[in-house]
Chains A and B, each alone.
Chain A
């Protein structure tokens, strides 16, 4: 989240992908770091232990959100 905020601060629209387990942390971080407008792209947890097939499903989940994040159309999920 810190890197995404630094890039946004430099003027680059940045899509930051987190897993469901880290949404809460991402939201607290963006508040603490003073950029509440960064909306994370959320994919199902986990990521680190997945097979290649499972990763493809994460890519499919992330793709439309990534596009939406860059275009300002992404909304927070709870």
Chain B
């Protein structure tokens, strides 16, 4: 691999307004950045293992080279601490794997943004919040880890709105979209354990995602009732999954999770139920052929396409990624639609090892 050039630095006067200078050069996500200093960059590099010119990945669609030094600069700008650095690196390496199709995710007119869910001890060590207001503001780790990913997608990946990012609308998760699972409050095995990792492994899960859609249910005292509300949120033909399939995420709030667990249901039961009892008819998603005979090549070839055929939201229960996230109080969950079949989520261990094969919980070891 060719040697990577060092980060260019231009001098500015001692009394220069650095925050404004970064704005002027177009290096910001819209919020003020933390001006990098040699000391802060060095601390970040140390957390990444040194070797500033080591190329971690190239970030599409600009295909800029993400060296550790470039990453360190963006981490500092985002407001990260060194203990956040390895999570951000793992997330970016996962995003740059071909399966994710970051090229398309960055360029699409759809609003998708990469959602990061961290599992395992790394989330706790970094101080991430999987509890109260997890998708909201107020936690430095969530805020700056997600922001660092976005800054790299903008600065290195070139995903500038109107240029390489053609999103019609975007969504607020394009500033920051990083959470962890609330493993402590969850009655189920952690997500990464379901997928074959050990509980003390730490993982990043990345999915091109819309914003979370709230699911309220203050009535049901059993699994079925709560999951029927989630099925209702899933069963529209407005989101991309309904017409383009792919993967989606379901976030169960801890109170809902406790009720579901009390019914004796496990992760696989939940995913299978959601898959079985959500969906649309082909008549609905084809508008009854009002605009011409529709086949829809974005659906799997094996789907029946008669008017009454059920069109599932995703092709199988394994395409539903289930997390328990949220605060102790509140009977809420959320549905997080994906972008479609054009992308696959990526789950990777934070230090780069492959999934262990020792344990697979609830009947599946595949993404």
Chain A residues packing against B (C-beta within 8 Å): 2, 21-22, 24-25, 28-29, 32-33
Contacts and interface: CB of A to CB of B under 8 A. Distances in A.
A32 B166 contact: no
B166 A28 contact: no
A22 B166 contact: yes
Given A25-B107, A25-B166, 4 more contacts: A25-B61, A28-B61, A32-B60, A32-B158
B302 to A, nearest CB: 25
A3 to B, nearest CB: 12
Interface in B91-135: 103, 107
Interface residues of B, number: 11
Interface majority SS (helix, strand, loop, mixed), chain A: helix
Given A32-B63, A32-B158, A25 B164 contact: yes
A22 B63 CA distance: 18
Given A2-B103, A25-B107, A32 B163 contact: no
B164 A28 contact: yes
B198 interface: no
The 10 closest A-B pairs by CB, nearest first: A32-B63, A32-B62, A28-B164, A25-B164, A24-B163, A29-B61, A25-B107, A28-B163, A25-B166, A32-B61
B158 A28 contact: yes
B11 to A, nearest CB: 29
Interface in B40-71: 60-63
A21 B162 CA distance: 9
B103 to A, nearest CB: 7
Contacts of B60: 32
B21 to A, nearest CB: 25
Contact of B62 (A2, A22, A24, A28): A28
Nearest to A29: B61
Interface in B323-352: none
Nearest to B166: A25
Interface string B205-245: 00000000000000000000000000000000000000000
B347 to A, nearest CB: 26
